[in-house]
Amino acid sequence: MPAADISSSPAGGGHGQTVCVTGAGGFIASWIVKLLLARGYSVRGTVRNLEDPKNEHLRELEGAKERLTLWEADLLDYNSLGRAISGCHGVFHAACPITDDPDNLKEQMLRPAVDGTKNVITAASAAKVRRVVFTSSVGAVYMDANRSTDVVMDESYWSDLEYCKDTKVYMNWYCYGKTVAEQTAWKLAKELAVDLVAVNPVVVLGPLLQSSVNASSVHILKYLAGWVNTYANAVQGYVHVRDVARAHVLVFEAQSASGRYLCVDSVIHRGEVVDILAEMFPEYPLPTKCSDEKNPRAKPHKFNCQKLKELGLEFTPVKQCLYETVKSLQEKGHLVTLPNKQH
């Protein structure tokens, strides 16, 4: 089935099914909830604080009044997760802290990522759900100093934990946490006979449904808002948030889906990102220089996403993805709208 059909088919695939989405108010999870509601599912979204106005956007989604309930749950509190998951047909485990504080990484990131995943899988096993879809990351796939950029990575590749730890760059710690969390998920799912499928996206961009800015949107905002004078000599993969949500629902619905699914549209150099942004939005003070002019330009990693494409996913081109990200940042008031020099 083509990806475009997944949200538009009126009956949807979810009629009569209840699913739980952890961390429902987050950037990616909000889009998963939106798509699940459009597909006819009844959705239980977990949030850490039911009173927090930052989750209000969920109540505005189409179908939310009839089929969305919010449940208070913390990843480190098994009972709260158990209550939300009990009686569900499936679980989408998207909640995970994304912290930039290297000193407190263990407490802030590793415990919720790893122990929280254990709690989710255990609760899913107790509830006898049909399938758990785990939002992993390409960070659990590509981090390996000894791997040439000529290698085309597929779902069989894993990040090297020692390398993640040793480079001491905070996002590498995040990759460490996601790798350990995913490995833990696979081990426990096997022990408990839980049907687990993982989606491994690169940096996710696109329109925000929530009012706050999440980490991957800041990745683009920093260039437009003039917070940086240069761009790094680095490459990055990008994918549209709608495509990531579709990937989650596709792997849940396709009976034949199994294992990991790389979710990558394109991998480009930061220099190309700022060039695309400058072409579409020349009114912003985008950096024009690389912070490293000595070393050769970093080469892009190569990924094979055939597995997801075979399930019917068509990726949104990166230019469209960047355009929609900027428009959304403007509309949500995170980026001042300046007169466009092109018009």
Q: Which residue is nearest to ligand NAP (CB)?
A: 26
| Site track 190-219 with ligand NAP (rule: CB under 6 A), x = hit | -----------x-xx---------x-x---
The number of beta carbons lying within 10 Å of the beta carbon of residue 226 is 11
Q: Which is nearer to ligand NAP, 26 or 90 (CB)?
A: 26
Please check whether residue 309 is in contact with residue 1, taking contact to mean a CB–CB distance below 8 angstroms: no
Nearest to 178 by CA among 133, 139, 143: 139
Cα torsion through 182, 188, 193, 196, rounded to 10: -10
Stretch 112-131 residues interacting with ligand NAP (CB under 6 A): 112, 116
Single-letter amino acid, residue 139? G
Q: Would residue 178 show up in a list of annotated catalytic residues for this protein?
A: yes
Q: Catalytic pick from 34, 165, 178, 307?
A: 178
Please check whether residue 72 is in contact with residue 78, taking contact to mean a CB–CB distance below 8 angstroms: no
Beta strands in 73-165 (DSSP E): 90-93, 131-135, 152-153
Q: Which is nearer to ligand NAP, 94 or 224 (CB)?
A: 94
Binding-site member from 12, 23, 206, 207 for ligand NAP (CB under 6 A):
23
Q: Which is nearer to ligand NAP, 42 or 117 (CB)?
A: 117
DSSP state of 138: G
Binding-site member from 42, 99, 122, 137 for ligand NAP (CB under 6 A):
137
Side-chain-side CA neighbours of residue 289 (13 Å): 7
Contact between 132 and ligand NAP per CB under 6 A: no
Contact between 14 and ligand NAP per CB under 6 A: no
Binding-site member from 61, 96, 194, 273 for ligand NAP (CB under 6 A):
96
Q: Distance between CA 222 and CA 334 in Å, rounded? A: 11
Contact between 97 and ligand NAP per CB under 6 A: yes
CB of 230 to ligand NAP, least distance (A): 22
CB of 254 to ligand NAP, least distance (A): 20
Nearest to 187 by CA among 134, 139, 247, 264: 134
User: How many residues form the binding site for ligand NAP (CB under 6 A)?
Assistant: 25
Q: Distance between CA 157 and CA 41 in Å, rounded? A: 33
Contact between 95 and ligand NAP per CB under 6 A: yes
Please check whether residue 92 is in contact with residue 20, taking contact to mean a CB–CB distance below 8 angstroms: yes
Contact between 90 and ligand NAP per CB under 6 A: no
Binding residues (CB under 6 A) for ligand NAP: these are 23, 25-29, 48, 74-76, 94-98, 112, 116, 135, 137, 178, 201, 203-204, 214, 216
Residues annotated catalytic, as ranges: 178
